Amino acid sequence: MELKITFNELRKIKDSLPDGSIRKLANEFNVSEETVRNYFGGSNYEKGSAVGIHMEPGPNGGIVLLDDAKILERAQELIAEHA
């Protein structure tokens, strides 16, 4: 399911993740840690893969369209578990 979110909101979620969450997400989704970072707006494609993230310029860092929201949803669960 495609999801629309602002870049700033996406980065806020990444920055709110508990320590070790990037590794945990990478293991759960069987991708590299850099791929998870790319999902949250990173751009290291030497070590990580593209992950269906499309960015459009605009307010709040622009609009991000995610082809699949599973990693984002799991990240939000991890944040809620540690709140």
Q: What is the pLDDT of residues 14-57, one digit of tens each?
A: 999 999 999 999 999 999 999 999 888 876 666 666 667 777 88
4: β partners: 65
Q: What is the pLDDT of residue 26?
A: 96
Strands 3-6 and 53-56: unpaired
Strands 3-6 and 63-66: antiparallel
> Is pLDDT above 90 for 61?
no
Q: What is the pLDDT of residue 41?
A: 81
| Angle, vertex CA 53, rays to CA 22 and CA 79, nearest 5 | 35
Question: Is 9 strand, coil or helix?
Answer: helix
Global pTM? 0.84
Cα separation, 70 vs 59, in Å, equals 25
**pLDDT band of 59, cuts 50, 70, 90:** confident
